[in-house]
Structure 1
């Protein structure tokens, strides 16, 4: 009995259902939590497009500790935004943050509290640094790809030569 095709068809159907459900939930404009994982004492930004560009919302982060806050309209971004601080006493875990728009729409988002210090991540849309940073540490060759390739080739030749010598010595019985 061939089960490959029915299993593949079932997997395709599940995947298609997941992709068709995604746009419907995305159009509701859930509550975005940034950063999604924060440590106690850090500041968290929440925002939503569900309230419209001029809408406000009453937020609640009581599950993690700070309690109620107000999301104010950010007309330039077309969303309502607020910030709150994760209390120093917050325990690790996942907490639901809610916001009720002035029109009655309720949106939620999850905040993960972690005891590990989070690396500072760039804000969405912020420029990301690129390129070589001259720190005085690292290899003597620098970022030149020609010199790097030459160095790797020299190491490969040395490794091949050493392997050949060891192989030759073991064949002659002189180990």
Structure 2
């Protein structure tokens, strides 16, 4: 019984070691030229995106596909700043927020490269300023209008004066 369990344990260890030995060889086959780079990587609907890749080689061309976000295909041509390939497309105004995979296929090699584009409702460049009031139930009912604020202060002053007058009469015994 012990011999069988040792044999099975040894076989399991050998299979696991073989799997680990294969993993580094696969990791070494990864692409050093990268995928698609998006500028900006986060865009609002209606915005323009520039796509760059070095995967197609120097002077290479490609066909990009932004159909996932609703833009269709676009050409990528040799870039002016080195050996990369670049192109542009516009995100449609009807695009929904989310992460979309953009694909390009190199013309010479048929190589497929991908990158992610994030569509958001607010641009990271836009600073969002808070507006409105905090719903705490305390104050803020009249807002920032000076006329309404003055009217509220006057109403409070009349109420305070009337209350003081009534308390004074009661203390003197005149009745209400």
Shorter-chain TM band: 0.5 to 0.7
Gaps in structure 1 of 5+ consecutive residues: 1-16, 121-175
Which residue of the other structure, out of 119, 133, 136, is the alignment partner of 1:113? 119
1:119-158 map, 5 Å: 119=125
TM superposition shift of 1:80: 0.5
Spell out, residue by residue over 1:7-46, the C-alpha distance to the aligned partner (whole angstroms, 9 max, x if none).
Answer: xxxxxxxxxx99xx5x864504211111111111111110
TM (norm. structure 2) is 0.53
Which residue of the other structure, out of 65, 74, 86, is the alignment partner of 2:70? 65
Instruction: Could you list the structure 1 runs, at least 4 aligned residues long, displaced by more than 3 angstroms after superposition.
Output: 23-26
Which residue of the other structure, out of 48, 51, 55, is the alignment partner of 2:53? 48
Query: RMSD of aligned C-alpha atoms?
Result: 2.2
- Residue 85 in structure 1 maps to residue 90 in structure 2: yes
Aligned to 2:40: 35
- Residue 74 in structure 1 maps to residue 84 in structure 2: no
Give the whole-Å Cα distance in 2 for the aligned partners of 1:81 and 1:24: 25
CA contact (8 A) 2:48 2:91 kept: yes
The 3-state SS of whatever aligns with 2:103 is strand
Aligned to 2:9: none
TM (norm. structure 1) is 0.53
Gaps in structure 2 of 5+ consecutive residues: 1-22, 127-176
Count of residue correspondences: 102
CA contact (8 A) 2:42 2:123 kept: no
Whichever of the two has the greater Rg, that structure is 2
Spell out, residue by residue over 1:99-138, the C-alpha distance to the aligned partner (whole angstroms, 9 max, x if none).
Answer: 0001211000000000012207xxxxxxxxxxxxxxxxxx
The 3-state SS of whatever aligns with 1:47 is strand
